[in-house]
Structure 1
Amino acid sequence: MDLPRIFTIRESSHRIHNPFTADKLATLGRALHLEPGIRALDLASGSGELLCTWARDHGITGTGVDISTVFTAGARARAAELGVADRVEFVHGDASGHVADVPVDLAACIGATWIGGGLDGTVELLARSLRPGGLMLIGEPFWRREPTDQETAEGCHASSPADFLALPELLGRFGDLGYDVVEMVLADQNSWDRYRAAQWLNLRSWLDRNPDDELAPQVRAELTTDPVRYARYEREYLGWGVFALMKR
């Protein structure tokens, strides 16, 4: 049970595996007025930056669950680096089936709602771990500009324009599911650039070190085409944000 290697190659230098900068993550933590000692669960926690930095900056505790052995090892190393290994733990496992043994104050899935089969299922999954009155965090794409054709949608890694909602409709969907949106921090084009463009250097550096690897043709093809595709489609059309929700 692990992520395909291409994912860890592409994001080998990333601490945040979404179009979110460290400043935006810190802004979100401050905006939520996190209190010391609250317990968090982060499903698909990646390299653990949310839990580790919020444990350092706000005194939270928590558990992260991720399917990647590479990212989980990185999260544990990050916790040790920041001196918070006694407050946060990281479990290698399938986040799609994980429910906390004891209800938590904050339950998050940042940019990986496929673990619940989509937005609705992930909200339901997180709710199973959240105490009454707790805070839920969802990271999710949305259309900045709604595509008018299939080519543009596919250029944004969508199967069709129906895969994502525009921001007003996404906020409305949270309401339909019975939640108030109580905060949000959105990616901008600069944070998208820092996320996506950093992947290209990771790919090229890996390719230079591993020209004969079986993945080398795939990495070469992606590096050749991805910058133009990103600039033409994803950068212009696709938004992303983290939304804080509370049950009505």
Structure 2
Amino acid sequence: MERDLLSAIAHRDHPIAAPVSEANLDRLLRRAALPEAARVLDVGCGEGEWSLRALELVSSAVADGVDISPHALASAGRAAAARGLSDRISLHSSPAERFSAPEPYDLVLCMGSTHAFGGLKPTMDAIARFVRPGGLALVGEGFWERPPTPELAEVIGDYRDLAGTVETAESEGWLTVYAHVSTLEEWDEYEWSWTGSLSRWAAEHPGPDGDQALAAAREHRELWLNGYRATLGFASLLLLRV
């Protein structure tokens, strides 16, 4: 069973696709204070929830969503149609590093997708070319709430603490103007939704695909509950291009 499909199923009940509540998603986007006719780029858009909500908040805004998953893009297209936003968002099947645009954007979103560029620093360098001078980026990135075990760090990846994460994000012409650190409650809602959606789907689809989905859900839950819960954090950084 392909990884993109597993991810799409896992995010069905939590299309925000990050440990962020709906209320805090709105708060972050409102802090961006997008102008009329704003241009928004959502890199690694997934189901498109972030960019679609931005369009709902600013009725004259338009957006581009970029992702490599056909399943996520199809879900984003259905969500846009259901919310009457299809004419204001264009969805692009493309690797993030290959996407190009004729005009700069007022806001670039990259929520939990910095792996597409190889990490936080390469992400900030890459998306700088998309943001107009004085424009904003909203970037979601993991960080260590407390020092991990060497074994956990090897599995999860190379993150810094919160101060180091902000320092990395600001290293080349960016200034943090607001941020949100996800709460344990937000993490638990995200992870129970992720593992629960996949487990429910597995129960409804007995056979090899269901077995793979259930195995993936159990493996993920084990790593979360006995590994990174309350150790791995998530910061949503609103950064000004200076």
Separation (CA, whole Å) in 1 of partners of 2:5 and 2:52 = 24
Q: 2:225 matched to 1:231?
A: yes
Structure 1: how far apart are the matches of 2:97 and 2:22? 26
Percent identity over the alignment is 30
Task: Write the distance in 2 (CA, Å) between the matches of 1:218 and 1:82.
Answer: 33
Instruction: Show the 5 A alignment for 1:91-240.
Output: 91-147=92-148, 149-154=149-154, 157-159=155-157, 163-213=158-208, 215-240=209-234
Contact kept? 2:144, 2:162, Cα under 8 Å: yes
Q: Partners of 2:214 and 2:7 in 1: how far apart?
A: 14
Letter in 2 for 1:29: L
Cα deviation code 1:2-34 (max 9, x no counterpart):
853322232233311111121111111122222
Q: Structure 2: how far apart are the matches of 1:224 and 1:182?
A: 38
Secondary structure of 2:133's match? strand
Give 5+ residue unaligned stretches, structure 1: none
The equivalent of 2:85 in structure 1 is: 84
1:111-145: CA deviation from partner (whole Å, max 9, x where unpaired): 11111111121112111111122111211101111
Q: Decide which moves more: 200-209 or 134-143.
A: 200-209
Of residues 41-50 and 68-77 in structure 1, the stretch that sits farther from structure 2 once superposed is: 68-77
Distance 1:37 1:218 in 2: 45
**1:64 aligned partner:** 65
Equivalent residues of 2:145, 2:232 under 8 A apart: yes
Q: Where in structure 2 are there 5+ consecutive unaligned residues?
A: none
CA positional deviation for 1:62: 1.1
SS at match of 2:156: coil
Mapped contact 1:99–1:128 kept (Cα < 8 A):
no
Alignment CA distance shift 1:94-1:232 (3 Å): same
Kindly provide the amino acid, as one letter, of the partner of residue 230 in structure 2: E
> Which letter maps to 1:206?
W
Q: Give the number of aligned pairs.
A: 240
TM-score by length of 2: 0.91
Alignment CA distance shift 1:12-1:36 (3 Å): same
Runs of 4+ aligned structure 1 residues displaced above 4 Å come to none
Match of residue 20 from structure 1: 20
* 1:239, distance to aligned residue in structure 2 (A): 0.7
Q: 1 CA distance for matches of 2:77 and 2:4?
A: 20
Corresponding position of 1:35: 35
Any conservation in 2 of the 1:11–1:199 contact (CA below 8 Å)?
A: yes
2:236 paired residue number: 242
Distance change in 2, residues 1:86/1:221 (3 Å):
closer
